[in-house]
Structure 1
């Protein structure tokens, strides 16, 4: 049985509760983060905290803890759940109040929840076989840079992908890929250039993306941050995605058409290898 953290208390998952009036439940009025754990240590934690602070600022929501306190809660959850490898989710909502579109009174405390999830991150079969992807129209709102808990459209898209025999969906807007349902998207051109969409309000600023691009720079891989089209995927040498839960995962087909030779590509393989090594060295 997992131990979770709810509003200042460590509790068994079976007894932990939040109010039915919580604004996260009623309005999706909240944000979240997820941090990978390798060998009992946190990967890219400063980046995740910086993005959390930015998301909170954008939705005018306060965090009830300092960064140091949040780090200690992460470490306590790792210890209490004997978590060697997996993920820690953190969610902050605007708290519980009577249903009203207006923000509640200032004395209403935010809801702060954290929980662990055991998951094989390094020995991931998807990284070995490669992902099958389908394309869907991007019908989300236009502040995708804020990591909010309103994930209904990605949920629908991922399930559409599953029913189509695929692993995930990449979203398309104006003929170009924005991102995956829970990851950033990349192609490698025939010339060996790595292409991924530039940061804006149209995509989430992935923390793993940031680290992987640093790895690409260290490997002297040419990078272009710009939108890429559906046609460019078909012409690409390889493709892959990045996320905190998947690290670097190759893509072998899109809408049933093979990407490159239909096998995980060497650039994705090398970036995954280098990223995992760097993450092990820098985890806290």
Structure 2
């Protein structure tokens, strides 16, 4: 693990080189996969225990990092618009001297960040995978504003934390207390909904898109729109799953991401067959 300067903050990052988790990288240049976690109660740890080691073992250079304000990355009092999160990722790749087009995988708000990066840095993006996510359009801004306002209002109350503990366990309750601290000590709740957006027609998303949803999640209603508006789009809806697809279905999610990255890495000019183990 390492902490790397990225503009006005220092970012906590972990790299798993191709084959580092016990596999073989194979011949040729491996793909690089960047895993972007969700908001408030999340960190790179969610990928460390799900996708990260498996992608590395399969022959992919894997990058996991904590978003600003999260985990072991710095928590400035302001600066939480979407464009700040996207610029953090661009600066992190520069700091890592990573110039290959990256395969972005984002869970929840991480998928929104990844979509922003794909839209504003298309030359640096190979593919985009969004897990239970929305692209950063006007409707998303309204949804996230409502969600953050409710969280900031409710999570300061001990009764709410106790309810979370009884229903979801002590670990989730601790994460919720930390989320409350983030919301009370930063401008995140105001900044995120006020950030830069992309056009509703999704024309800015020009790379291949894989969108994975839980069948019981309201976000799966996006499927027809995504398929209609994004030219190279594949959607997968996992039945009997809610928003926690990554945690509850890590094996299925891993297989979907592995197949997606392998398929599109193999299509890149100059990549030899067998480059991904």
Give TM-score, length-normalised by structure 2.
0.26
**Higher Rg of the two aligned structures:** 1
Q: Which has the higher helix share?
A: 2
> Higher relative contact order at CA 8 Å, sep ≥6: structure 1 or structure 2?
2
Give TM-score, length-normalised by structure 1.
0.25
Q: Which has the higher strand share?
A: 1
